[in-house]
Amino acid sequence: MTHSDAFHALAESLGAARLHFLRVELQVGRTMLDAADHSRGDVDRERRRARAQEAHDEVGRHLAKGAELGLTAAQWTELTTGLAVLARRLSDRS
């Protein structure tokens, strides 16, 4: 394997890990909002909403890098749509 091949393989692996991380963060945000909906106490509800907001902000920071992420158009759409849904859910419960 040449250095170029190794670099390309590493870049692909990094991109896949980044995409997985962003998908997981969106799922965490949705899960925390679902849990907040069923929380009995204000403290628990606000803690879960705060974690959902952290997930939203983290994905937003990554997506702000744009083309640097190396996402396909479909992946970009998936993540930006997921981020918009999370933002809407966060604002609906403010």
Write the pLDDT tens digit of every residue in 20-48: 999 999 999 999 999 999 999 999 999 99
pLDDT of 59 > 70? The answer is yes
The predicted structure's pLDDT at residue 7: 66
* Distance (Å, whole) CA 33 – CA 86: 9
pLDDT of 76 > 70? The answer is yes
Counted domains in the chain: 1
Domain holding 32, by residue range, is 3-92
Q: In whole numbers, what is the pLDDT of the chain averaged over residues?
A: 91
pLDDT of 5 > 90? The answer is no
